[in-house]
Amino acid sequence: MLGPGGIVDDVLQDVFVQFYNSLQSFRGDSSVKTYLNRIAVNKSLDILRRRKRSLKRFVGLDDTHEAELVDGSSSLPDLDRTVWKAIAGLSENQRAVVTLRLVEGYSTEETAEMLGIKYGTVLSRLNRACNNLKEVLRPLQGE
């Protein structure tokens, strides 16, 4: 969801620390994996919103997709840089849906529950995100 970069490691560490601190309030209604994913998604959304604000302020809206890739992507192949640039073009909410639904493989219902949104909202965000991604990613499929 955040793409490559050192911030991922910080978020991961924060997720486990927060999970440890909230163990007493964890009622076991959902699986530990779902609970951890929910914390991670919320933290990632916070970071993406902050990142967007600062990039808009300092870089300018047109260059934000490229600017997001500066941290941590230099060691990745060109194919991955194209993928992350396409992901950076999505809104934070669309990224969350794509991550949970397409990458993690959660159902639409589980994704809706984790993000605290309606079932139909997940479908519409996923549809918009797929429409944005398919044109960019089509040449990469099968590589």
Partner 1 sequence: MGIDKGHLGNNGDRKGESFDEIEMGIREVLIPAATRAAEVSVRPFLADRVLKAVKTPNVVRSGADVWFDSLFAWFRPVALASLILIAVLVSYNVKSAAEYDLSVSLSESVLGLPPVTLETAYELTDE
Judged by the rule CB under 8 A, the positions of this chain that interact with partner 1 are 1, 3-9, 12-13, 16-17, 20-21, 33, 36-37, 40-41, 72, 75-77, 79-80, 83-84, 87, 98-99, 102-110, 126, 130, 133-134, 137-138, 140-142
Interior CA angle at 45 toward 78 and 66, to 5°? 30
Q: At closest approach, how far in Å is the CB of 88 from partner 1?
A: 12
Q: 4: exposed, middle or buried (C-beta count within 10 Å: 0-12, 13-18, 19+)?
A: middle
Question: Min. distance of Cβ 99 from partner 1 in angstroms?
Answer: 7
CB 125 within 8 A of CB 94: yes
Cα atoms in the Cβ-side hemisphere of radius 13 Å centred on 54: 8
Task: Pick the closer one to partner 1 by CB: 21 or 61.
Answer: 21
Two structure tokens written together for 98? 């794509």
Rounded to a whole number of angstroms, the minimum distance from the CB of residue 60 to partner 1 is 25
For partner 1, the closer CB: 60 or 109: 109
- Whole-number Å distance between alpha carbons of 135 and 139: 8
Provide the minimum distance between the beta carbon of 5 and partner 1 in the complex, in angstroms, as a whole number.
Answer: 6
Nearer to partner 1, 55 or 111 (CB): 111
